[in-house]
Amino acid sequence: MTAAPLRIALIASARHPIRDPFAGGLEAHTWTLSKALSARGHEVTVFAGPGSDPGLGVGVVEMPLRPVRFSEAARRDTSMVALQQMVEHHAYLQLMLDLSCGPARYDIVHNNSLHYLPVAIATALSVPLVTTLHTPPTPWLESAIQTSPNCPVRFSAVSDHTAAAWRHVVPTATVVRNGIDTQRWHPGPGGEELAWSGRIVPEKGAHLAIEAAQLAGRGLRLAGPIGDTEYFEARIRPRLDRSITYAGHLSQSDLCALVGSSAAAVVTPCWDEPYGLVIAEALACGTPVCGFARGALPEIVTEDCARLVSPGDCAALAKVVEPTIGLSRADARRHAETFCSMEAMTRNYEHFYRTVAT
């Protein structure tokens, strides 16, 4: 007997819209997951930031980020926090209050944001709430988990590494690795230059990719939103030239074309990467990966499609560029299809939801 479709409320980021080009991996992941669940027959409503794509193919409800006016006395108060943080807090609070009122409109609520409030208020809901752990531990979310003596939330984690990092407060998190649409991310012809993609912020390490590419004597194309202007102007722009170029913040299709026409993808995290969606995207394009063995990266790749070196070692990274380029592009694509696919991710989430909802 075929199981009945689920009514799923998917809570996304309030800060960035779920819209291509995406602000980051979290937004791209939410977009992919919501479309895939809908395609499998589920009724999906995405609660997301203003400006999200109304043509997503699922119900999209924008969380109202209402402007707040503060008196000078309030601004001077020592408890005053960043305005954006306060606006988002009240947007999530209002959403959770709305979800807790009246008859249940959903079978399950999936908190796919990084915010703590859905966890802290989970006891007010009449249906189960699940939360995906996308990041290393944060103080606000750790605190929210401990608000109730018996936290009712069920957790998933995007990697074994991330599940282990949270184990001190979440003893059992179901690992559901991120996946990408291998139809949208299709194989490319390869090329001579290297590619680096992601948010341009210090923890993603674009400056180290530049250093490794220069040591290896290869050109490098960078792509992604500039999340830290000061970092970009100080560490990236001065090093741009004919061989090191910045392609901008690209749509998925344009980014696929760039990565697919590259010899290899360089991944240089300066933090413990919880998953590394850019790796899955590169492999789907048939582009092998070289990078730092940090966070979850070692559990995502194999020797058939990647070469990893010690974190921060640009000289070692430069030395594995040519061996990486020599890896089979067909093997890279095959690994994406079997390990990083949207289909596998969606089936695993579907099973997780039904386990929690029954």
Q: What are the domain boundaries of the chain?
A: 7-179+341-357, 194-339
Residue range 7-179+341-357, CATH number: 3.40.50.2000
Quote the pLDDT of residue 74.
Answer: 82
CA 339 to chain centre: 16
Q: pLDDT at residue 2 above 70?
A: no
For the chain, give the mean pLDDT: 94
Residue 303 has pLDDT above 80, yes or no: yes
Residue 71 pLDDT greater than 90, yes or no: no
For the four alpha carbons of 255, 260, 261 and 265, in that order, the dihedral sign comes to positive
State what percent of residues in the chain have pLDDT above 90: 81
pLDDT tier at 317, thresholds 50, 70, 90: very high
CA distance 356 to 336: 28
Say which range, 53-67, 252-266, 344-358, has the weakest mean pLDDT: 53-67
Domain 7-179+341-357 matches domain 194-339 at the CATH topology level:
yes
What is the spatial distance between Cα 289 and Cα 303, in angstroms, rounded to a whole number?
10
Contact yes or no for 14/63 (Cβ under 8 A): yes
* pLDDT score, position 1: 44
pLDDT digits (tens, 9 = 90+) for 221-242: 999 999 999 999 999 999 999 9
pLDDT band for 36, please (50, 70, 90 cuts): very high
pLDDT in tens, 158-205: 999 999 999 999 999 999 999 999 999 999 999 999 999 999 999 999
| Cα angle, residue 147 at apex, residues 121 and 155 outer, rounded to 5° | 70
Give the C-alpha separation, 122 to 346, whole Å: 24
Residues making up the chain, counted from first to last = 358
Cross-strand bridge partners of residue 341: 180
Q: Kindly give the residue spans of alpha helices, DSSP state H, lying in 101-217.
A: 117-120, 139-145, 160-165, 206-216
Tell me what the mean pLDDT of segment 96-110 comes to.
90
Which CATH entry fits the domain spanning 194-339: 3.40.190.10, 3.40.50.2000, 3.30.70.270, 3.20.20.60? 3.40.50.2000
Q: pTM value?
A: 0.92
Instruction: Look at residue 34 in the predicted model and tell me its pLDDT.
Output: 94
